[in-house]
């Protein structure tokens, strides 16, 4: 093993001291080094986050999007996609189903769809919080500060807004008409408004290097995020990046493990994307630092249309089947299912007055 790799691993005992160079070295690990990196990340996850896995039920309630991101199947110009919108009552019914299955968090996710006014979404959040004993995460993209404030007042607990890449030039190319600066501004608003904040990035984007991925982790540490969704880029033929190479399982796991070392207290999902590129992707991710899985609770009839990337797993599963698949994945990784909300550790300590 390289000396610099061993030195970086040693520095991981003080996560705040891990530098971008250290993380680049970790992410560039060879096979033998990777095994060591994964072992340490798993150890840190177990010590800091415990062995329970939090299940967050995702409801993908609209695939309309006004944006035109080059990598995403939901992009505005993708005319091959059959579009759908769920009605507020349907979304709430989905949340009931998720809670009935045992999810203590419901994630409401959509493209950037102006059809849903802030009032409408706030009302949905309010009704879910009033009726069900669940935490609510919103993932509906760029909105104004006032709109985020309204969702928060309605009871939303968390907001997921991935920065996707820390490379400002690449960000602007991949997400036309937007900037990394604007995205980070929104992440700061969310923090100021009292949300538990989630971000994240893709692995394997064209033009990305190990150094960029290390920068993604450093950025999330600086932004003090409480959740980080790290998954492979999967090219979609219905997008301009359709013929690019996608992210690999190996690179995704190394980035995930490095993130666990630098961000020990952060919730890290074993993503659906990693399960899509490899049949054991989620189990492997759970063994490299992940502690969250998001079963898909979207009604079956809409699933095929929420295709950010192709061949997404579980397209023919009912919510019940998705949930039980995820439970089996967790158990096969030798872990147990959390029955708590899975709030951020920071939030839980605040509630406990620590």
Beta bridge partners of residue 232, listed in sequence order: 203
Binding to ligand SF4 by CB under 6 A, coded x per residue (else -) over 238-277, reads ----------------------------------------
Angle at 41 between CA 229 and CA 162, to 5 degrees: 10
Of residues 22 and 113, the one with the C-beta less far from ligand SF4: 113
**Of 314, 307, 324, which Cα lies nearest the Cα of 275?**
314
- What whole-number distance in Å separates Cα of residue 291 and Cα of residue 107? 16
The reply to whether 303 sits near ligand SF4 by the rule CB under 6 A is no
Helices in the chain by DSSP H: which ranges? 3-11, 20-27, 31-49, 88-101, 118-131, 145-154, 168-174, 180-192, 210-222, 249-262, 272-277, 281-286, 300-303, 319-332, 345-351
Q: Which of 8, 29, 41, 74 binds ligand SF4 (CB under 6 A)?
A: 74
Options 7-15, 32-40, 65-73, 222-230: segment touching ligand SF4 (CB under 6 A): 65-73
The reply to whether 75 sits near ligand SF4 by the rule CB under 6 A is yes
Q: Which of 72, 108, 154, 205 binds ligand SF4 (CB under 6 A)?
A: 72
- What whole-number distance in Å separates Cα of residue 2 and Cα of residue 8? 10
The reply to whether 161 sits near ligand SF4 by the rule CB under 6 A is no
Of residues 111 and 319, the one with the C-beta less far from ligand SF4: 111
DSSP 140: -
Minimum distance of ligand SF4 from residue 149's CB (angstroms): 21
Of residues 67 and 346, the one with the C-beta less far from ligand SF4: 67
Radius of gyration of the chain (CA): 19
Angle between helices 20-27 and 210-222 (to 10 degrees): 130
Options 42-50, 70-78, 256-264, 314-322: segment touching ligand SF4 (CB under 6 A): 70-78
Neighbouring residues of 304: CB distance < 8 A, sequence distance ≥ 6: 82, 315
Binding to ligand SF4 by CB under 6 A, coded x per residue (else -) over 81-120, reads ------------------------------xx--------
Pairing of strands 105-110, 292-293: unpaired
The reply to whether 67 sits near ligand SF4 by the rule CB under 6 A is yes
Of residues 33 and 60, the one with the C-beta less far from ligand SF4: 60
CB 59 within 8 A of CB 91: yes
Of residues 82 and 351, the one with the C-beta less far from ligand SF4: 82
Judged by CB under 6 A, the number of residues near ligand SF4 is 9
Minimum distance of ligand SF4 from residue 241's CB (angstroms): 12
Options 71-79, 186-194, 230-238, 310-318: segment touching ligand SF4 (CB under 6 A): 71-79
**DSSP per-residue codes, 160-182:** E---B-S-HHHHHHHSTT--HHH
The reply to whether 27 sits near ligand SF4 by the rule CB under 6 A is no
- What whole-number distance in Å separates Cα of residue 179 and Cα of residue 11? 33
Q: Which of 65, 136, 230, 270 binds ligand SF4 (CB under 6 A)?
A: 65
Q: Site residues (CB under 6 A) for ligand SF4?
A: 65, 67, 69, 72, 74-75, 111-112, 141
């Amino acid at each position: 093993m390289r000396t610099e790799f061993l030195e970086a691993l040693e520095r991981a005992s003080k996560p705040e001291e891990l530098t971008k160079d250290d993380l680049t070295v970790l992410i560039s690990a060879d096979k033998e080094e990777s095994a060591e990196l994964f072992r340490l990340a798993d150890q840190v996850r177990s010590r800091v986050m415990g062995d329970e896995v939090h299940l967050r039920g995702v409801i993908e309630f609209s695939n309309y999007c006004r944006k035109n991101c080059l990598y995403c199947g939901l992009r505005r110009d993708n005319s091959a996609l059959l579009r759908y919108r769920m009605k507020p009552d349907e979304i709430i019914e989905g949340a009931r189903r998720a809670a009935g299955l045992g999810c203590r968090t419901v994630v409401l996710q959509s493209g950037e769809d102006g059809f849903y006014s802030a009032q409408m979404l706030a009302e949905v959040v309010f009704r879910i919080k009033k009726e069900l004993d669940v935490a609510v995460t919103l993932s509906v993209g760029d909105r104004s500060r006032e709109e985020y404030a309204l969702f928060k007042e309605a009871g939303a607990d968390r907001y997921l807004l991935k920065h996707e890449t820390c490379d400002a030039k690449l960000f602007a190319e991949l997400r036309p008409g937007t900037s990394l600066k604007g995205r980070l501004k929104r992440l700061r608003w969310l923090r100021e408004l009292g949300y538990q904040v989630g971000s994240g990035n893709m692995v394997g984007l064209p033009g990305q290097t190990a150094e960029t991925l290390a920068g993604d982790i450093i950025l999330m540490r600086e932004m003090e995020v409480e959740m980080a969704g790290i998954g492979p880029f999967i090219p979609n033929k219905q997008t301009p990046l359709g013929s690019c190479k996608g992210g690999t399982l190996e690179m995704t796991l190394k980035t995930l493990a490095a993130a666990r070392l630098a961000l020990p207290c952060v919730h890290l999902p074993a993503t659906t994307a990693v399960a899509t590129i490899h049949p054991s992707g989620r189990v492997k991710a759970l063994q490299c630092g992940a502690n969250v899985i998001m079963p898909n609770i979207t009604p079956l009839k809409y699933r095929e249309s929420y295709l950010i990337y192709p061949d997404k797993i579980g397209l023919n599963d009912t919510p019940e089947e998705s949930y039980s698949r995820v439970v089996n994945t967790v158990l096969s990784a030798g872990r147990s299912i959390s029955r708590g909300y899975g709030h951020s550790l920071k939030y839980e300590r605040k509630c406990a007055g620590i």
